[in-house]
């Protein structure tokens, strides 16, 4: 059941020294944000925290309390720096247990890959009371505990986990967006943007300037959960830009 009035929100906690050290370029924010939009859930806030129990516990407890859903990525592998499950168990005040189905999945996966060692068995550990999220890409499953979704850090594995969750989370109306582009300095049309947004309830206009081919331009993204309102706002914005002699390109430049 979807309820159009209510806005469903999610937070994302990215767990990993590799992001904070600059070694790895995060790709999960954009990927999870785009997936959430389609589920009718708004990504409200993101935190990146170190592989540090206290930091993870703080982020998890704040974010899960004030959002409908909390996603985490990273720190669920077999090595010593993978402490996400233990830290989330601490945050929840529950023990860590081996999930029998996760164990079976891993036994099967490693049957022809050298067997299920103690390190590999770490990936079957979950906070007590958890369900599994299917991993279509590699052995170790993701974990769901209440409104917390514990996912892999490697983006294509995360993608597979998101796919298996598609359509299973209660959300509101999907957030729709349309983009138009224009060869104009955003500072030249700031008042026009503000006025257009104000005249169209339930629409937000984002302005994304660029400098290309020696000229300045901007793309404008209009977002709304209401298709008619969105279309009306885009049409008004196009008219306003063209009225000052600035042709508009559908879909952006």
Instruction: Give the binding site for a copy of itself (CB under 8 A).
Output: 14, 17-27, 29-37, 42-50, 55, 77-81, 110, 113-114, 117-120, 122-123, 138, 154, 175, 177, 185-188, 190-191, 193-194, 197, 204-211, 221, 223
Query: How far is the C-alpha of 224 from the C-alpha of 217, rounded, in Å?
Result: 23
Of residues 67 and 145, the one with the C-beta less far from a copy of itself = 67
Of residues 18 and 53, the one with the C-beta less far from a copy of itself = 18
Q: Render the burial of 46-78: b for 16+ CB within 10 Å, e for the rest.
A: bbbbebeeebbbbbbbbbbeebbbbbbbbbbbe
CB atoms within 10 A of CB 200: 21
Query: Do residues 26 and 48 make contact, with C-beta atoms less than 8 angstroms apart?
Result: yes
Of residues 101 and 198, the one with the C-beta less far from a copy of itself = 198
Of residues 121 and 232, the one with the C-beta less far from a copy of itself = 121
> Nearest-5° angle of CA 144, CA 146, CA 152?
25
Of residues 146 and 209, the one with the C-beta less far from a copy of itself = 209
Residue 129 Cβ, how far from a copy of itself at the closest point, in Å?
A: 25
Residue 100 Cβ, how far from a copy of itself at the closest point, in Å?
A: 19
The answer for residues whose C-beta is within 8 angstroms of residue 39's C-beta and 6 or more apart is 166, 167, 169, 171, 174
């Amino acid at each position: 059941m979807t309820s159009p009035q209510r806005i469903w929100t999610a937070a994302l906690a990215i767990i990993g020294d590799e992001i904070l050290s600059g070694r790895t370029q995060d790709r999960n924010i954009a990927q999870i944000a785009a997936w959430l939009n389609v589920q009718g859930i708004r990504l409200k806030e993101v935190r990146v925290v170190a592989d540090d129990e206290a930091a993870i516990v703080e982020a998890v407890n704040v974010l899960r309390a004030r959002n409908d859903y909390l996603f985490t990525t990273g720190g669920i592998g077999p090595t010593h720096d993978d402490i996400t499950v233990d830290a989330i168990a601490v945050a929840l005040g529950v023990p860590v247990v081996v999930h029998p189905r996760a164990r079976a999945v891993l036994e099967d996966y490693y049957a022809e890959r050298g067997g299920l060692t103690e390190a590999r068995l770490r990936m079957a550990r979950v906070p007590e009371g958890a369900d599994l999220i299917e991993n279509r890409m590699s052995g170790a499953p993701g974990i769901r505990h209440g409104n917390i979704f514990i996912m892999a850090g490697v983006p294509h594995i995360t993608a597979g986990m998101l796919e298996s969750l598609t359509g299973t989370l209660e959300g509101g109306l999907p957030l729709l967006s349309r983009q138009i582009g224009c060869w104009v300095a955003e500072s030249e049309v700031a008042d026009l943007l503000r006025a257009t947004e104000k005249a169209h309830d339930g629409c937000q206009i984002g302005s994304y300037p660029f400098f290309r081919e020696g000229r300045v331009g901007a793309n404008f993204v209009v977002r709304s959960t209401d298709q008619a309102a969105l279309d009306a706002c885009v049409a008004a914005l196009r008219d306003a830009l063209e009225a000052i002699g600035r042709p508009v390109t559908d879909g952006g430049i």
